[in-house]
Structure 1
Amino acid sequence: MTPTDGAVTEPAFAKINLTLHVTGQRADGYHLLDSMVMFTSIGDEITVRPADTLRLTIDGPFAAGLSADDDNLVLRAARSFGLNHGADITLTKRLPVASGIGGGSADAAATLRALSRLWGAPLPDLAAQVALGADVPVCMSAEVTRMAGIGDDLTHLGPAPMLDMLLVNPGVGVSTRVVFEALARKTNPPMGDAMPDPFDIDDWVVWLADQRNDLEAPARAAAPEIDQVLSRLSAQQGCQLARMSGSGATCFAIFEDADSRDNAAAALRVGHPSWWIAPTDEAPT
Structure 2
Amino acid sequence: MHLTQTAYAKINLALHVRARKENGYHELETLFAFVDAGDRLVAHGSNEDRFSVTGEFAGALTNPFDNIVMQALFTLPRPDGLAITLEKNLPVAAGLGGGSADAGAIFRMVRDGYGLPDDWRVRAAKLGADVPACVESETCVGRGIGTELEPVENDLAGMAVLLVNPRVALSTGPVFAKWGGGDDGPLPQGTAKDIFINGINGLEEPAVTLCPIVADILEQLRVTRPMAARMSGSGATCFALYNSDEERDMASQHIAAIRPDWWQMRGHLR
TM tier, shorter chain? over 0.9
Shift of 1:155: 0.9
Shift of 1:150: 1.3
Aligned residue among 151, 157, 162 for 2:158: 162
Structure 2 counterpart SS, 1:273: coil
Structure 2 counterpart SS, 1:220: helix
Shift of 1:161: 2.1
1:178 partner amino acid: P
User: Where does residue 234 of structure 1 map in the other structure?
Assistant: 222
Shift of 1:250: 0.4
Aligned residue among 16, 19, 22 for 2:14: 19
1:165 partner amino acid: V
User: Where does residue 71 of structure 1 map in the other structure?
Assistant: 66
Is 1:32 aligned to 2:19, yes or no?
no
CA contact (8 A) 2:103 2:135 kept: no
Aligned residue among 231, 252, 263 for 1:265: 252
Q: Distance in 2 between matches of 1:101 and 1:246?
A: 7
User: Where does residue 208 of structure 2 map in the other structure?
Assistant: 220
Shift of 1:135: 0.3
User: Where does residue 190 of structure 1 map in the other structure?
Assistant: 186
User: Where does residue 136 of structure 1 map in the other structure?
Assistant: 131
Shift of 1:42: 1.0
Q: Distance in 1 between matches of 2:118 and 2:86?
A: 19
Deviations 1:57-104 (A, max 9, x none): 001121111134332100011111256742111111111111101111
Shift of 1:149: 1.0
Runs of 4+ in 1 over 6 A off after TM superposition: none
Structure 1 counterpart SS, 2:14: coil
1:114 partner amino acid: M
CA contact (8 A) 2:11 2:32 kept: yes
Structure 1 counterpart SS, 2:227: strand
TM-score (norm 1): 0.88
| Distance verdict in 2 for CA 1:83–1:25, change over 3 Å | farther
Is 1:247 aligned to 2:234, yes or no?
yes
1:168 partner amino acid: V
Structure 1 counterpart SS, 2:73: helix
CA contact (8 A) 1:143 1:158 kept: no
Q: Distance in 2 between matches of 1:225 and 1:84?
A: 48
Deviations 1:33-53 (A, max 9, x none): 100111111111222211111
% same residue: 36
Structure 1 spans left out of the alignment, 5+ residues: 1-5, 199-203
Query: Within 5 Å, which residues of 2 pair with 1:26-65?
Result: 26-65=21-60
Q: Distance in 2 between matches of 1:68 and 1:185?
A: 35
What number of residue pairs does the alignment pair up? 269
Structure 1 counterpart SS, 2:32: strand
Deviations 1:139-188 (A, max 9, x none): 11122100111122101236552212111001101010111111111533
Shift of 1:124: 4.8
Which deviates the most, 150-159 or 41-50? 150-159
| Distance verdict in 2 for CA 1:121–1:235, change over 3 Å | closer
Q: Distance in 1 between matches of 2:150 and 2:116?
A: 25
Shift of 1:130: 1.1
| Distance verdict in 2 for CA 1:261–1:231, change over 3 Å | same
User: Where does residue 3 of structure 1 map in the other structure?
Assistant: none
